[in-house]
Structure 1
């Protein structure tokens, strides 16, 4: 791209001083993101298993939490510590779990607005920030008790500081850039991938050597700061991400489609802005591109790990929405705007409703817990197939205390793990045979089954010595009630012995 060299002691933005002082590009997107994040915040009182991990880990004591991070999930350690503090101040259930993500999304939307204003003026800033807030993916992670919205806010504002550093001789912008990016990387290491996007931006803008040196020092500082986390989490990587497979065809198609849309917006002569493109296009394509390509060797790709890339698409879309009506001429401008607005609402509303439904996540641990509460009787045993589904009850300690966890050897806290450790196969079999009634919490039909010895003995013992009495399917899981079959010499009749006590 033949972008001319800029005088980097002058602001990179074409906006005037009065435009730069306007607050609308920051306040409007932030307000909209807050409203959208608050809308249906509890998702019909549902919670999925990753959020349950946040909830139960953040409720451990500080010592227990630090012991856990030494073994697993160090990559989320700073976020868990933040949520530990949130729950210490306000143990407000699902709203408290998700409110930090709502606020972080509002901050990220404000940052996109500030970027758009700096690059192309306040109207573009407002449109880009609003567009970012309206993205279904933005809304989804604004209502999730995980770290991705916080990472996005950190990366967006670090990018803003980068942009200010390009247009100023002051070193303070670069100090702030390095510090903020270092914190974002501590919240989630894959925030560091934005450094590659920023390097491409500097190359496209043909910045002088002194800018490269300042950026290099700030970037190196951020990487050095996050170095200890990288060392610890590298030793946990197999346990942390071992569940991931290589990117599917659907993942590749989604990445390519979003990238193609960004390229299209950047190449339309009537809409293109070289400065915006130099910043937004690498931000959109480079971090997810590196992660998905690298996952051909080591499967680490999940799109939410690089959620912040959507800020690049919002910037490109903001420019398009700002300039397209002008290019179409005065007469059709109002009609075109209304037609475009109607089309956007028609596409946006169903998607926005969908991300607020329990079915938008892989499972619903709250629904599982409600079902167990309805079915459980005194003296019942509980069995998790597979063992990692113990997470379905981890956020409900009072309910877990009513049931005998038949396979559990050491509790999650005692074992410094997320879901505890299990007994040897023979001990699991013996405990099962000593229990007349068992609630089995299982994956939906058709899911792969774990081949591990403990899992195999659970399935064999249930099949040989128990009869199924009731099966309740909930989103992402099942609760199956089993009772012991009649003794030797008796004829088992389906349903016999299944009466509730």
Structure 2
């Protein structure tokens, strides 16, 4: 009778079974994420929200979530822990997204490996890592890369029928951003006949309901800035969907049943809903891009004439390379709050007032407290922390008028020219007072913003 192999031999055999390609997709994602992570020192306003909320106390975060932004609550708590552990500025703000993107790329490879083999896994994981939107949110201090990682790994756990782990992982994704629940629609096409999946899906829905109830109450102030999907949104959806349908031809059926619903259903349903209630932003369903990555990996691996795929990859390197380089500049985002703060610092004098038009642009200075503290904010009634809000609350129009008229010099922070003006009385009175009682000394454009300096008549030349 043969003796059992020694434990050391079993361990060595297990190590040999770990294919050498497996670290490549997450490694590629990590390298791309770390490349230019600071974006030349830029930070846009959504990241600024993360920065200033995560620096509040846990009690302050709890009070905020009762009023607004409950949908991001778990992420804010996570980032609070990150900054408590290491207040590393932009690196601490963005490294969780880099790590999550690497984890998602590994998950895409794991799904492809199970459904289409090793070659498909390597290609699919790398394709996911290099997709420009994936690279973009890998370097952003928001929750979307983390949500994508949770959905991708939940998909893998679904294929393994690990229902307890599936429930936990997908629920984490949903609590990071509740639109991750749309992945359940995609998963239903693969696992709807499984009693285990139905129980898991029901558990996720039930445990997500408290967050859904709170966030629906906050939806008007949370998503009121959104419009209905534009023709560009529909065009992008059509292009990605058509490309995915083409890639699905000849791909393994099991993989198609996972990938196509993932790329088509969550964004498609959210866009249709947004025709009535505008809730669609492409980053809310970033995880859908795992679908085309899976299909591309399977098709490339199965292709006989691989020269065509190599040629296609080489052709794509140029536009993808240019796009990737641009994504690592401040110009790739809507604005740059740190550049705005630096420009205000250059123009500010002791005793100057600062007015935000509209008030939600107060976010431009909240992440630069050294600049904001040196200015008077005549419109502010209660600070963000004191009012349990993101940008604070403002005084009545009459009090704003009186406070502005008592200011000899005002720095106004405005949206770029051509943006629609808020019709609210508080915003209207700011515009009225500045136009009627002040001279416009200068206007400077900064990325995504304008900084206008006003002075009482004859005061522009005063130094």
Q: TM-score range with shorter-chain normalisation?
A: over 0.9
Query: Gaps spanning 5+ residues in structure 2: where?
Result: 1-12
For 1:404, what is the secondary structure of its paired residue? Answer: coil
- Which one of the candidate residues 334, 343, 348 is aligned to 1:371? 343
- Distance in 2 between the 1:445 and 1:20 partners? 61
Q: In 2, are the aligned partners of 1:382 and 1:439 still within 8 Å (CA)?
A: yes
The offset of 1:264, in angstroms, is 0.9
Q: TM-score, normalised by structure 2?
A: 0.95
Q: In 2, are the aligned partners of 1:24 and 1:126 still within 8 Å (CA)?
A: no
Offset from partner CA, 1:120-145 (integer Å, 9 cap, x none): 11111010000000000000000000
Residue 82 in structure 1 maps to residue 78 in structure 2 = yes
Offset from partner CA, 1:326-367 (integer Å, 9 cap, x none): 2x2xxxx5x545523321211210111121121211111111
Residue of structure 2 equivalent to 1:121? 117
- Distance in 2 between the 1:133 and 1:151 partners? 15
Q: In 2, are the aligned partners of 1:19 and 1:122 still within 8 Å (CA)?
A: no
Residue of structure 1 equivalent to 2:59? 63
Query: Gaps spanning 5+ residues in structure 1: where?
Result: 1-16, 166-172, 204-208, 487-496
- Distance in 1 between the 2:211 and 2:454 partners? 45
For 1:50, what is the secondary structure of its paired residue? Answer: helix
Offset from partner CA, 1:132-165 (integer Å, 9 cap, x none): 0000000000000000000000000000000111
Residue of structure 2 equivalent to 1:265? 247
Residue of structure 2 equivalent to 1:191? 180
Residues 317 and 500 of structure 1, relative CA distance in 2, 3 Å threshold:
farther
Residue of structure 2 equivalent to 1:392? 364
The offset of 1:448, in angstroms, is 0.3
Residue of structure 2 equivalent to 1:29? 25
Residue 297 in structure 1 maps to residue 269 in structure 2 = no
Residue of structure 2 equivalent to 1:341? 313
Residue of structure 2 equivalent to 1:131? 127
- Which one of the candidate residues 105, 110, 118 is aligned to 1:109? 105
The offset of 1:24, in angstroms, is 4.0
Offset from partner CA, 1:198-242 (integer Å, 9 cap, x none): 112236xxxxx5x2x110011111112222111211211111111
Residues 367 and 297 of structure 1, relative CA distance in 2, 3 Å threshold:
same
The offset of 1:500, in angstroms, is 5.9
For 2:441, what is the secondary structure of its paired residue? Answer: strand
For 1:257, what is the secondary structure of its paired residue? Answer: helix
Q: In 2, are the aligned partners of 1:25 and 1:126 still within 8 Å (CA)?
A: yes
Q: Residues 221-300 of structure 1: matches in 2 within 5 Å?
A: 221-267=203-249, 271-300=250-279
- Distance in 2 between the 1:180 and 1:189 partners? 13
Offset from partner CA, 1:381-434 (integer Å, 9 cap, x none): 000001110010011112111000010011111111000011111111111111
The offset of 1:25, in angstroms, is 4.8
Residue 407 in structure 1 maps to residue 409 in structure 2 = no
Q: In 2, are the aligned partners of 1:72 and 1:239 still within 8 Å (CA)?
A: yes
Q: In 1, are the aligned partners of 2:300 and 2:309 still within 8 Å (CA)?
A: no
For 1:377, what is the secondary structure of its paired residue? Answer: coil
Residues 355 and 20 of structure 1, relative CA distance in 2, 3 Å threshold:
farther
Q: In 2, are the aligned partners of 1:386 and 1:455 still within 8 Å (CA)?
A: yes
- Which one of the candidate residues 318, 333, 343 is aligned to 1:361? 333
What's the C-alpha RMSD, in Å, of the aligned pairs?
1.6
Residue 143 in structure 1 maps to residue 139 in structure 2 = yes
Residue 39 in structure 1 maps to residue 39 in structure 2 = no
Residues 336 and 374 of structure 1, relative CA distance in 2, 3 Å threshold:
same
Q: In 2, are the aligned partners of 1:25 and 1:114 still within 8 Å (CA)?
A: no
Q: TM-score, normalised by structure 1?
A: 0.88
- Distance in 1 between the 2:14 and 2:317 partners? 32
The offset of 1:18, in angstroms, is 9.1
- Distance in 2 between the 1:448 and 1:278 partners? 44
Q: In 2, are the aligned partners of 1:438 and 1:483 still within 8 Å (CA)?
A: yes
Stretch of structure 1 that moved more, 299-308 or 18-27 = 18-27
- Distance in 1 between the 2:316 and 2:298 partners? 16
Q: In 2, are the aligned partners of 1:385 and 1:443 still within 8 Å (CA)?
A: yes
- Distance in 1 between the 2:16 and 2:448 partners? 49
For 1:252, what is the secondary structure of its paired residue? Answer: helix
Q: In 1, are the aligned partners of 2:115 and 2:252 still within 8 Å (CA)?
A: no
Q: In 2, are the aligned partners of 1:20 and 1:118 still within 8 Å (CA)?
A: no
- Distance in 2 between the 1:309 and 1:50 partners? 22
Residue 432 in structure 1 maps to residue 404 in structure 2 = yes
- Distance in 1 between the 2:52 and 2:329 partners? 22
Q: In 2, are the aligned partners of 1:380 and 1:437 still within 8 Å (CA)?
A: yes
For 2:356, what is the secondary structure of its paired residue? Answer: strand
- Distance in 1 between the 2:206 and 2:17 partners? 35
Residue of structure 1 equivalent to 2:9? none
